[in-house]
Copies of this chain bind each other. A is one copy, B any other.
């Protein structure tokens, strides 16, 4: 950022529709992906299915399964099955996932720091919008 080179030539890399990095960005542009990878990054250890479920308030079991599968597919999360009874399945971050987790934790931290400012801006915007659709004749 801040370097002017992007205005010149090579910025197209990240913005063309067929750019591979778009695929990756669109993986991360998903709230449950952010929450799951974020949680695994925070706790910094493998976690079991229902443990994650309890931690991630509001996630349904379907969404958790789906999100974990997608992350496993993309090589960010590893799934380990211990064939005990009852079965024990642990989900952990891969090297790649740990890397992504750092970025995501940075986002989570930033969100926490600036949440109030943003929510205030939002309610003020909404107030201005409802207050004068037109300047009262």
Measured CB to CB, the residues of A under 8 A from B are: 1-2, 4, 6-7, 11, 13-17, 20-31, 33-35, 38-39, 41-44, 55-58, 72-76, 96, 99-103, 105-108, 110-112, 114-119, 121-122, 125-126
Q: Check if B29 sits within 8 Å of A25, measured CB to CB.
A: no
- A20 CB contacts on chain B under 8 angstroms: 112, 115-116, 119
Set of chain B residues within 8 Å of A125, measured between Cβ atoms: 72-75
Contact partner, A108, options B14, B16, B55, B101, Cβ 8 Å: B14
B27 lies within 8 A of A30 (CB): no
Tell whether, in the assembled complex, residue B73 and residue A122 are in contact, meaning their CB atoms are under 8 Å apart: yes
Establish whether residues A75 and B122, one from each chain, have CB atoms under 8 Å apart when the complex forms.
yes
Closest to A98 in B: B1
Asked if residues B110 and A99 are in contact (CB atoms below 8 Å), the reply is yes
CB within 8 Å for A1 and B103 given contacts A20-B119, A118-B74: no
